[in-house]
Structure 1
Amino acid sequence: MGGLLVIVLCVLVLVIGGSLGLDGAARRSLEEIGICATSVITRGYKCQEIHVTTKDGYILNMQRIPEGRVPSPSGGGKKIRQPVLLQHGVLVDGMTWLLNPPEQNLPMILADQGFDVWIVNTRGTRFSRRHVSLDPVQPAFWNWSWDELMAYDLPAVFDYVYTHTGQKINYVGHSLGTLIALASFSEGSQVDKLKSAALLSPIAHLSYMNTALVVLAAKYFVGEITTAFFGLAEFNPKGKPVSDFLKILCTNPGVDCFDLLSELTGKNCCLNASTVDLFLKNEPQSTSTKNLVHLSQMIRDRVIAKYNYGRPDYNLMHYGNFFPPVYNISNIPHDLPLFISYGGKDALSDVRDVQELLDSFKYHDGDKLSVQYIKDYAHADFIMGIDAKDVVYNQVVALFKR
């Protein structure tokens, strides 16, 4: 659900009218040049474009910012910089971390604080639309949900960063980036390579998500109407089928499409209009329809579980059981340093759902768990808030430096 704020903004573009996005030529140019050249090097930072192949064949794009604008003195030897891996949410890509100025965005703050920063772009987004044998026009390319992001994408990038730095990794996830991390760590995956984790606006339990538009969309996605309506494996927010779908949702009573940002993410307190405009020029990104169905199942079933294939015999074939296995978050190692930050106005990461998540950590080592509650923050404030540095990021930096 992480980038579900994108649905709000893309609805503003697609449903209410106007196009604030880049034109086709500019968008293609950006995809050819890459994030480093357009958004990092121009601000005075070194940056490398990197490609990593998952075990199921997806070629993921990453950016590495190895140091800050003013490298620290060597002191007679090369400074060892701790690696930090940043994972975005759904329907957006790694660019969302970089929309604010260097003094306000998390990757550059971390680089200036002496960290080796790695930004992930999830499969299906504009910079990660390659596969060793499949093409995005093929439905098979989109046959995945966040289960596969947890099982394939996360291990691939963790292994790459760990191999190339020789150090355990500090992890930052926002929204869906928190869900795949929680699921992975609960199964003991990546914890041997993990130093600490910061989870911003965490998505895990979705029982109390009560925005009318999201709940209504979830009902569509878990029904057969999903396949019948779209007939597409790729959920492309910029495409006509999705635009038509959102128009239908907006005709339902109780759905306020005149204040869509608040309708879906909660009332964000601290967004800069120019940053939102830049956001609209770069996002939203595609994901698989199956991924949104999986997230909708979590809202319907009120459980953190693997993808439900809808028929007991199909589940039996995939899992050896009639029901999908449940992710037990309480299995996360109790001595893993964690920082969890959530907002009082967040409609996607509801306070009550976060409290249920925190209950999974009741036996966590007391000195290894830090929890921050920000009364006025909503979902987008954690990645685009103009005061996020002072409110959230300074605590993230402090955790990683400890």
Structure 2
Amino acid sequence: MELGIPVGCNAGIVDPHSVDSMAFRSAVTKSVVVGVCLVCVGHVLQLHTRLLSDDAKHALGYPPDSLLNFTERSARYGYPAEEHRLLTQDGYILTVFRMAGTRRNGGAGAPPVILMHGLLQSADAWLDAGPGAGLAYLIADAGHDLWLGNVRGNYYSRDHVRLRPDTDPQFWDFSVDEIGLYDVPATIDYVLNYTKADKVNYVGFSQGAGTFFIMCSERPDYCDKVGVLVALAPAARHTNTKSLPYKVLAKTINSMEYVLNLCGIQEVFSKGALSQEFLAFFCQFHWISEFVCGTAEAMFDSFHPGSIRKETLKVLFGHFPAGTSTHNMARYGQSMNSDRFQKFDYGRSNNIKLYGSHEPPSYNLSAVSAPAVVLYGENDHLVDERDVSWLLERLPNVLEAVRVSDPLWNHLDVTYSHLTNHSIFPKINDYLLKYSNDCQFY
């Protein structure tokens, strides 16, 4: 709503709803800025500390799933998992998991499936909703050979052949630009080499889809290694993002990146940091988990009552946020100020040195030649459907664009909703089966 100069008989009358809205926005803005400051102080003081031991957390009633790692948790429900380590071209060491389903007679001859998480997440996010709802369980149960990626900077991929994340600032000099250029191709190559398959099928959520687009633009031969792309709430440009807290957070970090780096802050929102430990603690209480943690999650996205269970909230905040670089968060702040899907903007003079132009170049979405299926929700306040429509107009090989039928379906529902089995999985599985080499066992 635009505010103009009042005229006529209404001159001088202030709309109370506008005042309430402005006050709310101001309060949210101040809260987020204070939160950013607290996170920064915590990182400057190296407050990467565990407030409680695992024994203490067990005694306090933390759900076991919030304390177990990926392989422990999947095995707990009868899903054997393997841990693999791979090396990117620029020296980052990433962890991927291979997860088997309860169905033992499926998968032979079918392409492996790579499932890639979103911003500030890890592979654990695909387990948080539990068996029967988490996409990792659902895809594995459908008989697919499932591989779950972890991009650089989260707690499973915090390693490098030369750089140490706690002492070398250069480790954190990355954004989605490097994740798409190096991490996604390395994950695809590792899975293909290990399984001896001809192609993979790729399911990417939010950042996990956006980095796939970057890969295809920068290294188009990798699109030929993919049978089908299933893009869930794909994050390309963020021009129309509705979430005020998210916008303030990302834009503030973008504007403060230089100062933050001077203070020695290259990593943000890591697992085990004071902010994450507090979230994990307070979300264990029933009334707080629903009222405070559920409301906080909804304010960053949108409200969808009954979609994410209280039990899931308790589990997910045990390992969310999973960490990323300040530079990556700044990159998202930039994307909200542009109507293009472009590389990092380093300023006119540095852009000329790096790119040969004043403006950062746009990614070539026409190079995304892999057949693509796009699923999105109209209540998504992080990846707005107008930006999805903009993306769909530029992808050359869209098989189907699906707006989830639930009008309240939002961004974080993709990983955490207990309704996933009915809302999005049938369509995902339809295309994974269609692009499998041998579907006769289904």
Q: Calculate the TM-score normalised by the size of structure 1.
A: 0.82
Do the aligned partners of residues 339 and 159 (structure 1) sit closer, same or farther apart at CA in structure 2, a change above 3 Å counting?
A: same
Contact 1:81 1:114 in 2 (8 A): no
Aligned counterpart, 1:98: 127
Do the aligned partners of residues 141 and 154 (structure 1) sit closer, same or farther apart at CA in structure 2, a change above 3 Å counting?
A: same
Contact 1:169 1:195 in 2 (8 A): yes
SS at match of 1:171: strand
- Over the matched positions of the two proteins, sequence identity in percent amounts to 28
| Uncovered stretches (5+) of structure 2, i.e. residues with no partner | 1-30, 40-48, 56-63, 278-291, 435-442
Aligned counterpart, 2:143: 114
Give the total of aligned pairs.
363
Q: Give the distance between the partners of 2:356 and 2:431, measured in 1 at CA.
A: 40
Q: Give the distance between the partners of 2:425 and 2:50, measured in 1 at CA.
A: 30
1:80 counterpart letter in structure 2: G
Moved more, 214-223 or 256-265: 256-265
Aligned counterpart, 2:360: 324
Q: Give the distance between the partners of 1:341 and 1:120, measured in 2 at CA.
A: 20
Aligned counterpart, 2:190: 160
SS at match of 1:196: strand
2:319 to 282, 291, 294: 282
Q: Give the distance between the partners of 1:328 and 1:47, measured in 2 at CA.
A: 36
Matched, 1:26 2:60: no
Matched, 1:35 2:70: yes
- How far off its partner does 1:24 sit? 5.4
Q: CA-to-partner distance for each residue in 1:108-138, whole Å, 9 max, x for gaps? A: 2212211100001111111111110110112
Aligned counterpart, 1:72: 105
| Uncovered stretches (5+) of structure 1, i.e. residues with no partner | 1-6, 16-20, 244-255
1:236 counterpart letter in structure 2: F
1:94 counterpart letter in structure 2: A
Q: Give the distance between the partners of 2:332 and 2:149, measured in 1 at CA.
A: 21
Do the aligned partners of residues 321 and 159 (structure 1) sit closer, same or farther apart at CA in structure 2, a change above 3 Å counting?
A: same
Residues 283-302 of structure 1 mapped to structure 2, 5 A cutoff: 283-302=320-339
1:71 counterpart letter in structure 2: R
SS at match of 1:63: strand
- How far off its partner does 1:285 sit? 1.4
Aligned counterpart, 2:169: 139
Contact 2:342 2:361 in 1 (8 A): yes
Residues 2-401 of structure 1 mapped to structure 2, 5 A cutoff: 25-26=53-54, 34-36=69-71, 38-65=72-99, 67-72=100-105, 79-137=108-166, 138-165=168-195, 166-187=197-218, 188-223=220-255, 225-229=256-260, 231=263, 232-236=265-269, 239=273, 259-269=295-305, 270-310=307-347, 312-333=348-369, 336-361=370-395, 364=397, 368-374=399-405, 375-401=407-433
Q: Give the distance between the partners of 1:370 and 1:87, measured in 2 at CA.
A: 19
What's the C-alpha RMSD, in Å, of the aligned pairs? 3.1
SS at match of 1:79: coil
Q: CA-to-partner distance for each residue in 1:200-222, whole Å, 9 max, x for gaps? A: 11211211113222222233233
Do the aligned partners of residues 56 and 95 (structure 1) sit closer, same or farther apart at CA in structure 2, a change above 3 Å counting?
A: same
Q: Give the distance between the partners of 1:210 and 1:262, measured in 2 at CA.
A: 12
Q: CA-to-partner distance for each residue in 1:286-332, whole Å, 9 max, x for gaps? A: 1010001111111112221111112x232222223222110122332
Q: Give the distance between the partners of 1:337 and 1:275, measured in 2 at CA.
A: 33
Contact 1:31 1:127 in 2 (8 A): no
Contact 1:202 1:340 in 2 (8 A): yes
SS at match of 2:103: coil
